[in-house]
Structure 1
Amino acid sequence: MSTLLIKSATIVNEGKQFNADVFIKDGFIERIDSQIDVKADETINAEGLYLLPGAIDDQVHFREPGLTHKADIYTESRAAVAGGITSFMEMPNTVPNTLTQQLLQDKYDIAAQRSLANYSFFMGASNDNLDEVLRTDAQNVCGIKVFMGSSTGNMLVDNPTTLENLFSRSPMLIATHCEDEATIQSNLAHYKQVFGDNVPVRLHPKIRSEEACYLSSSMAVALAKKHNARLHILHISTEKETHLFDNTIPLKDKRITAEACVHHLWFSNEDYETKGNLIKWNPAVKTAKDRDGILKAVLDGRIDVIATDHAPHTIEEKAQSYLQAPSGGPLVQHALPALLELYHHGKITLEQIAEKTAHNVATCFQIAKRGFIREGYYADLALVNLNKPWQVNKNNILYKCGWSPFEGSTFRSSIEHTIISGKLAWSNGKFTTEDSGLRMTFER
């Protein structure tokens, strides 16, 4: 039996802010009250701090197995916890690709021993593993991942019959990466003709264009509507795509939902000049108009959740030419501080950050007893100091790859404490436990 008492926190939860104490027992929030006087194993004085539900990141690539020179579940889950992310859902494009139930179970076995954060893993779809996909347990797995655009290994799903079968037969949430491969290849061929092997990175959003994104996203939406499938489109990168989604339906009743990522809310094509391949993602960071349009859709409810698409590569890999450098970058440690920076700039409220990073993710994926600061729920919490500036530098970056696209940035807010399933895991700049997080379950 373990107990933790948080005193005098400003709680940000379900559209409100209020001052209260929180008593945690055996992993769960037992009581929330204006004054709680009980003896606890540990007490945190949270006066002046803001208590948010721990962020649930619905899209990360932690690279294990097979790509552990870039990252692994142990290192990246620790970086996430230091950044106030208490739970993650990890993608199947590891090596080997997670295309069988046994390979999926292998990842759960690793996480049970090595993940500081709570965890779930997507089952991967390919053009030829439908039977394996349909065996996925909806109560114990977050969803099915479909790459409707370029990917690694055998994970590009471009067979129309396969897509029809997936959307018509899968009872689970289908999460999609949407970019039209034919459009991308045509754009790439054009720019190679002009520049040869020296295509500049600034053309990345022209190659992985608005047209490529919209063609694929609109096709996914059409398939979902045709078959009444549960569709979740990941990392929306264009303003045009935001109009595919509805904000007139309560989230719990939506069959089609969407995600925005921190980098698409922060960077624009103007940043390629200074950041180069460090902000090369798929789908690409596009224009300031796209960035602002995505934020507008987040705020008005067309886009439901904010995530990271954390996808580390080594700095040596990123230092290659544009055509050789892989897409993706590390974000979990700095996502919540970046969103809090947007709050300081008046672009989003604390209540909206809690909604988009925790409440809505829990609702969207039907996660059991997480995502809210409620009595009877798991204690997944982040205590934030809104006025404790710090600069991102090599000495405090925790990713295995050792770099960040935010390097040199100063954030005004710090993550002071992170609590994972009732256990204090990060406190005042140090990890305070090596205990593993828990496997998430789903009320489906």
Structure 2
Amino acid sequence: MKAVLIKNANIVNEGKIVKGDVLVQDGRIAEISETISAKSSDTKVIDADGSYLMPGMIDDQVHFREPGLTHKADIESESKAAVAGGITSFIEMPNTIPQATTIELLEDKFDIAAKTSWANYSFMFGGTNDNIDEILKVDPQKVAGIKLFLGSSTGNMLVDNPKVLEEIFSKTKLLISAHCEDEATIKQNLEKYKAEYGEDIPMELHPIIRSEEACYISSSNAIKLAKKTGARLHVFHLSTEKETHLFSNNKPLAEKQITAEVCIHHLWFTDEDYKTKGSKIKWNPAVKTQNDRDGLLKALLDDRIDVIATDHAPHTLEEKNNKYLNAPSGGPLVQHALVALLELYHKGKITLEKIVEKFAHNPAILFQIKERGYIRKGYKADLVLVDLNSPWTVKKENLLYKCQWSPFEGTIFKSRVTHTLVNGVVVYENTKFANKSNPERLTFNR
């Protein structure tokens, strides 16, 4: 494997920015110093003067749609888009077809990723009302965790039996990640607006139907159950300011039993954007008010919210262009997540150090991912270089998603990813894919 020497970079790592060089050999970070000389003539040297070197981002929640939904996306296409966006590792969700609710079906997904992924990978095991025996077979050192849909499920993955929920929370040693929205509240709201509008429910009512109350009821109940049973609970994609007060910042992340995540779209869009974006910003949980967006950012900065993710969940434009009741929720985000966060940096809303903490360091801590998430000697060389002053416009021609649309189309980003290294290989360089990646299955220090 060819050595890579990154020279003169502004290294963003562990709360600091320092100028220096990083040498990569045999897939790992071999040396970090103020100045390093190439050890051999065939070392690839990247002059990063003026650019910022970060650990590769770790996205703890994506839907890459394979197997069974590959008309929307697949592991190869979406992981390639992720790498171009500076994401070098992902954790994918179980609601594919078939759903990853047995060990055998879970391993089928690992097999696909081993052959086609461009980024390092792991998968969530899916919980149901009747697969506790399979849940207890999962090896915590080889699988990211268990995903529970406590609302908004597909197939049979809504876990709504209280006795089953308590049994899962009590018995599993896995980290439990939960989608929290109260189905009864949503159903009641939906029926009200169906009675008023029939098939023509305005898209702007999405955050009223999938309301703050629905989110808060479900999140608070999950937290109560976690406290009762001692389970390790991670609440996915908070969308309301009210929910942020359910979480604390009174201890280091590694010591927390209950943690939370926020997604890019909830930090970027508000309910005002439904007028122009329509179903393209229809997610579950819904994009809500400016007060919610501001509250989520505040909680992220003061460490009540622990990580940033994308909840990348593509659908075809044909599917998204349906009326409210038939337009699926979700959208593509991995290619533009980091540059969107860097736009918030340019606006003075977040520091580079905090972006790296929440999108690289903390996912590694939270999931106990082995040897990733930091720029440290001996760690796997998952690295991303960004130019903070290289404006570009999101257009159909530069989209890498299989679905070929983005809620960011027309947006001008000031920053761009120039290089991405996965396990020491320069995979992406100056808008081109330079080499085939050599991704690895994530392993966990548990």
Pick the TM interval, shorter chain.
over 0.9
Matches within 5 A, 1:432-443: 432-443=434-445
Please identify runs of 4+ aligned residues in structure 1 that moved more than 2 A. 38-41
Aligned counterparts of 1:98 and 1:187: Cα–Cα separation in 2: 31
Among all aligned residue pairs of Structure 1 and Structure 2, give the percentage whose two residues are the same amino acid.
Answer: 64
Aligned counterparts of 1:431 and 1:166: Cα–Cα separation in 2: 43
Count of aligned positions: 444
Residue identity opposite 2:188 in structure 1: S
Matches within 5 A, 1:175-186: 175-186=177-188
State the match for 1:3 in structure 2.
Answer: 3
8 Å CA contact 2:207–2:287 kept in 1: the answer is yes
Matches within 5 A, 1:22-421: 22-38=22-38, 39=40, 40-421=42-423
- Secondary structure at 2:398's aligned position in 1? coil
Aligned counterparts of 1:234 and 1:155: Cα–Cα separation in 2: 16
- Secondary structure at 2:399's aligned position in 1? coil
Aligned counterparts of 1:342 and 1:377: Cα–Cα separation in 2: 29
Residue identity opposite 2:267 in structure 1: L
8 Å CA contact 2:283–2:331 kept in 1: the answer is yes
8 Å CA contact 1:114–1:436 kept in 2: the answer is no
1:41 Cα deviation from its structure 2 partner: 2.6
- Give CA deviations for 1:276-300 in whole Å, capped at 9, x if unaligned: 0000000000000000000000000
1:433 Cα deviation from its structure 2 partner: 1.6
TM-score, normalised with respect to structure 2:
0.99
TM-score, normalised with respect to structure 1:
0.99
Counterpart check, 1:14 vs 2:14: yes
RMSD of the alignment, in Å?
A: 0.6
1:434 Cα deviation from its structure 2 partner: 1.9
- Secondary structure at 1:167's aligned position in 2? helix
Residue identity opposite 2:369 in structure 1: I
8 Å CA contact 2:100–2:126 kept in 1: the answer is yes
8 Å CA contact 2:119–2:437 kept in 1: the answer is no
Aligned counterparts of 1:301 and 1:201: Cα–Cα separation in 2: 32
Aligned counterparts of 1:112 and 1:306: Cα–Cα separation in 2: 25
1:2 Cα deviation from its structure 2 partner: 2.8
- Give CA deviations for 1:83-138 in whole Å, capped at 9, x if unaligned: 00000000000001110000000000000010000000000000000110111110
- Secondary structure at 1:43's aligned position in 2? strand
- Secondary structure at 1:395's aligned position in 2? helix
- Gap regions ≥5 residues in structure 1: none
8 Å CA contact 2:9–2:51 kept in 1: the answer is yes
- Secondary structure at 1:8's aligned position in 2? strand
Aligned counterparts of 1:395 and 1:173: Cα–Cα separation in 2: 39
Aligned counterparts of 1:237 and 1:31: Cα–Cα separation in 2: 41
Aligned counterparts of 1:384 and 1:150: Cα–Cα separation in 2: 36
Aligned counterparts of 2:176 and 2:268: Cα–Cα separation in 1: 27
Aligned counterparts of 1:434 and 1:86: Cα–Cα separation in 2: 13
- Give CA deviations for 1:401-440 in whole Å, capped at 9, x if unaligned: 0000000000000000000011101000000122341111
Aligned counterparts of 2:435 and 2:180: Cα–Cα separation in 1: 38
8 Å CA contact 1:112–1:436 kept in 2: the answer is no
1:150 Cα deviation from its structure 2 partner: 1.8
8 Å CA contact 1:178–1:217 kept in 2: the answer is yes
- Secondary structure at 1:122's aligned position in 2? strand
Aligned counterparts of 1:177 and 1:26: Cα–Cα separation in 2: 39
- Gap regions ≥5 residues in structure 2: none
8 Å CA contact 1:2–1:41 kept in 2: the answer is yes
- Secondary structure at 1:30's aligned position in 2? strand
8 Å CA contact 1:368–1:440 kept in 2: the answer is yes
8 Å CA contact 1:213–1:283 kept in 2: the answer is yes
